Structure formats: C-alpha cells, structure tokens
Structure 1
Amino acid sequence: MGNLLGSWRFKEPSTVEECDSTWGSDSESDEPPAEDDSGISDSFSPADSEHRAAGDPEDTSPQLQDSPESVPKMKRSFYAARDLYKYRHSYPNYRKSRQPNEYRNLRFYLNKIPLVPDGIYIEEILTKWRGDYDKLEHNHTYIQWLFPLREQGLNFYAHELTQDEIKEFQSTREAKRRFLAAYSLMLDFYGIKLLDKSGNVARAPNWQDRFQHLNESQHNYLRITRILKSLGELGYEAFKAPLVRLFLEESLCNNTLPNMQHSVLEYFVYTIRLPATRRRLLRYARKHYRPAHAFLWGPPPKRRGGAGGGVGAGSSGIRAPAPTPEQQRRGDESPASPSASSGIIVSSHDAVMCQDPAGGGLGPNMVGLELMMAGARGERNEYNEIVPL
C-alpha cells in the first residue's frame, strides 16, 4: 500500500469544464438561463499553441461585435483554464525549486540583496521609479522580483517562491509593507490608486493617459495576471476582487479599456480562488457584455424537464441519453416550466452607475464584492481577513 500511495500523482484536468469549478452544484439552483450554451472547447486553438510555444500565459482573442450568424464562435482557452486551475489549487504537481531555498525573494524585499541581473534594490525601485512610466514599461526584469510566484517567469535569474518562504514572508512586517508599496507603484503605472488597507481601488488623477496606454500596451495584461497571482500567494487574496471589478467596469461599461475585455474574463477573474466571488464578478460581466450571445464564461443553462437537457459553458460536458419516442411525446404534452431567477445580494458600497449599451440610459448596477469569508483552510492576514489557501 505504501508503494501505491508513494507513486500516486495528481491527474491534471483535460477539459475547460474540469478546470472551472465556478458554476458548481451550490450555485446552479439559483441561476437564470445563459444567453448561449456553446463555445467551450476541449482542445487547443491555433492561438493557444502559439502562446504555449512562446511561454505566454495570456490570450488576446478578438472581441466579437456582430451577430452570431456573421462571426466565428470564440472558444475558451484550455491553456488559460489549466494554468489558473493549477494556481488556484496551489500547484498540485508542484516540484521543488530548481535552485536552493535561500529565501531570495524575502531577502530582496528586506532590501538585503538586489534583483538580478540589474543590481537594483527594492528601496530604489519604490522611491525612484514611481512615476517613471518609461522605465516601468520597458524594463522587463523587475516584475518577477516584485511579484514572485511558485512558477518560473521570463527572468531566469528570479527565484520561484516555496511554501516555507511564503510562510516566512507573510510573518515579516517589513516585507509586507514593501510588497504593498510595490503594488501601489504598479497601480499608479496603470492609472489606479489604492484607497485603503482592504484593497479597494479607484481611478487615479492621471487615469485617462494611463488607461489609453494600458489599452494599447497589452503585454501589461501578462503582468497584471502575475500581480493578481502574487497577491494571493503572499496573503492578499481579498485585494484581487476590487481590482478585477474595476477592470470589468472600465472595459465593459465605460469602454476605456476595450482591449482588456478578453483578458479580464479569461485570466484575471480566474485568479480568484473563491468560487462565490468569481460568480459575482461573472454575473456582473454577463449583464454588460456585448454581444450578449458571445459570453462564454457561464453560468450553464438549467436543465429543463429531465432528459435531453442542454450543456452549456462551464457544465460537465456529459449529455443525457436521447429521449425515447414515448418520453418525447410526454414531454411535448407537459407545459414548459418557467425558469426561476434570483436577485444579487448587494451592498451600497458596491453600487455603480453604468451605461447600458442596450437601453442607452444610466441605471444603478449593483454588484456585491464578497470578502473572503470561506475556505476550509485559511489564514488571517494583517487586515484580519480570512484568506482561503
């Protein structure tokens, strides 16, 4: 028995549906039908293959704009879904770092060693780089040091995090203080300001110029994905939802970041580990996504009347057997059951005014950003929030 357990390895998911637990059984009972029940693909697209070869975790598929009859169907990226599944589940096949565990990320944040290969210390970055947008844009070696992960980035001199280092980092006040300063530095680069110690964010005074740059400089979407992942690794899981929510509003409602729409839905949302929080964000996104039929991220439509129910985005992909003629006849004679829908629990803090492309008017669209108050395993960060691991 010992040999069998010792040789067991985690089996990686092989479909998008297996990677995505957002619309699980706990949420299917209160969801209205989706506008579209297709678009999920179990296989790689040519674009996915190119990103895999380049080592690029981001996907920039074009946004659909026309009717469903006149445009090809988009697909969810299996590469993205699998990458973020591994992240949310703490890298189930994680192997030890290729380098000795010297706590180099923590020592960098304690200002004891510089980043490699540039030889720059963290304090210099935090004090002299703020507002130097050209440097932040064109230097590609610092981001892996500022936002470390348990996976390799493009800077092979940077070290991957380990579980022991993560625990030590989270218990070191000086490192956490500088980490939040680094987060604020990058938010300013993107035209966003950090409002408080709960992670709430808003537009910065220079948001117009910075959003225009962010909309055009799409390699920054890779950086944002990494930043979100690192927030979760180092104890700031609750900081993700406010930032993702802002990006959804700007890209879908305000049209200030239209090129970000696909990345925020395919990547940013799925860095969030708590399914309930992902559901709230995706409900908000589905309400404002245009064209509505092209929304691929759920929820799946309800099954109606038993056998023969449809399978939608995020469902298991298993279809019920085709009904017999007698079952079909009985089904045709029975009245259609209306589908139920439920309201979204909201708070006044989360109320926003958003342009409705369909109605043309302004109306309140309220979405609750749930605090991280669940998780079988969790720790409290310095702001007394329960952070699921």
Structure 2
Amino acid sequence: MNDATPIRPNRNVELGASNEPFQNLHEFVRKARANLNQNAWDYIVGAAETETTMRRNRMALDEIAFRPRVLRDVSKVDPSVERFGRKLRLPVMMAPVGALEIFEPVAAAAAVTRAVGKFGAAHMLSSVSEPGLEKVAEAAPDALRIYQLYVRGDDAFVDDCVSRAVANGYTAFCLTVDTAHYSRRERDIAKRYVRESRLRATGGDYQKSLSWRTVKLIKDKYKIPLIIKGIATAEDTAIALDHGVDWIYVSNHGGRQLDHGRGAMHVLPEIVDAVKGRAKIMIDGGFCRGSDVVKAVALGADIVGIGRLQCWALAAAGESGVLRMLELLEDEVIRTLGLLGVTSFADLNKSYLHPSTATNAPSVFSAFPLVDIEPYRY
C-alpha cells in the first residue's frame, strides 16, 4: 500500500463546536444557490427531459434500509480503504463533471483535485473541464487523479489523450460511453441557454460512432487501468470483461442523458452479479450522504462518485469548500458504520441492508430535508 496520501485528523464537526461556516452538508447547497446565477444553478440541479432518471437515483438509495447489529465494540471506526494501490480516507471519488469552471472560475477542476489530494480521496477529471489535463496534474501532482474522456476525435485523438494521461501521472483512464447523443436538458432549452463549452464543442459524430473497437485499441496498447463509465446492464458488463476492462463504472450521468432509466442503485446488484469479482466497480448517481456511500459499498461497489454535491461545495467555497464537504462526509460515514456495528468497510456486506419504502419524495434535494430551495424556478 502506498501511504503517500495524507491522512489528517478530522477537524471538529460537532454542531456548534467550531467557527466553521459549514456544519451540515445541506449548507453547501444553500450557499451555492446564493452564489450561482440561474443558468449555472439549473445546469447542476437539472437533468434530461422529465428528470425521471435523476429522481430514480435518489429513490433507489432511499428504498434501502439498514439492518444494524449491536453490542459490538465500535469505539474505533476506520473508514479508509485501499484503492489503486493507495490508501484513501474514504472509498470516494469526485466524479467527472464538465465545465467545473462555471462553479469556480479561477481554479476550476484544479481546485477539486487539490482538495481531494489534501484530504486523501480521488478525483476523476472530465475532459471538458478547465484548466485541462496537464495543468490539473501540475496543480496536484500527488493526488489520485483519473482522466475521463469524451471521444471527440479519431484513433489518433484517443491515442494522444491516453498518452498524455499516462505521461502526466494519471492513475487510470476512463471512457464515457453513455453520450452517443446529447440529451434534451429542458431547463436550458426553456431559457434558450447554451453553455460556452457546448458552443465550442466539436467531434460529436465520433462520440456517436464509438464502439468496443476503441476499448480494444486502448487495452491492446496501454497498461493503464481502463474504466468504462455508463454501464447499465449485465450484458454490457460481460462484454467489457471480455475486453479486459479493469473497472465497471455504473452511471446514468446523474439522470442527464437517457430519461426514464433505472436508478443507479437498482442497477448495481445486477452488475455485481455479472462481474463476480473479475473487475472493480464504481458507481455514481444521487450520492449525497455518508449513508449513501455505506449502502453502495455494502452492495458491492468499490468506489462511490460524488457529482452534484461536489459542485455545490465548489460553488459555495471553492477548494476549501470541497475539502470541508469531504470532512463532513467522512464524519457521516464513520457514524453510520459505527451505528451499524462495524469498524471498517471490510466488515460490511449486504446483510446490513434491507429493502424498504422511500419516505421522501425523490428529488435532487431529497437527501437534504432542511433545504428549502425551489429547484424549478426559471
């Protein structure tokens, strides 16, 4: 295990115990709303068409209850894990989000990477987030960095991107495969709003024609671990395994691509059964609380991606906001594990879970009942 990742003592997160401006995760949401204009706000809280997939992400999480065990010594709970040969404080990754510069114009993605490097987590950098592959690597050379690519060019384009990621110390490489067609994001359409990055985007036909052939080209040439993001069925999982894919990334793009898809946590058991330990598994889609992370790992995920919460924290307070969000998330994870009667993720399995009924109406904010923001104002 590489112990280069800093493991710092958590700052006091007890209510009222410090001068920290953020004591609860929902406070990042409120501050982000105050800081963002309507276009930026709708970009992060919105999803495709009827936004059904986004709601199902939360519903799938809320339909899982815990089965706690008691009278166990949980005086010391360690939520750290080993992933990619490194020790992480949490099995958590900041998921790839395009156009992070909307939320932090100066440092953008570099601020997220620096924060996760200081904390001891991971960041998957989107190929459509500034300031780009090389500058993010320069900003946080010791962080666990993963590069995610939208294929917007030919074989030479892909080869160049993989080569640059390897040369700049990225730990793994990810292909996103659920964006063959760009979705109808009706919050933007209703306001006639098009992001500048979308206006500059080229090469969409390459994304439409992306196939397993490109996966084979990468695996045949490079040793860097390969992740496929956007897997949603056992059938595609089997094909990915046949191609030697190292990580299956269960994702529906936060509900921002195919409408009326299944919630990510509804998909996860199918993927775990198909993988049978032959690859590692990532997941994202509505994960906002420590209990969400615990549920995913109990069901078989190895890393949980944090998307919208990452953006809210970044918009609320930049790099320090992302770092503080991770500290609060860690506190929630530790308490959840301890109350379940386990002292580490290694002790956790699906026997601690039980199907149940969601008590909150699913929405982008249903993880935060204290948030009183109206998400649908134009």
Tell whether the structures are fold-level matches, with TM greater than 0.5: no
Question: Taking structure 1 as the reference length, what is the TM-score of the superposition?
Answer: 0.31
Question: Taking structure 2 as the reference length, what is the TM-score of the superposition?
Answer: 0.32
Larger relative contact order (CA 8 Å, sep ≥ 6): 2
Q: Which structure's residues are more often strand, by fraction?
A: 2
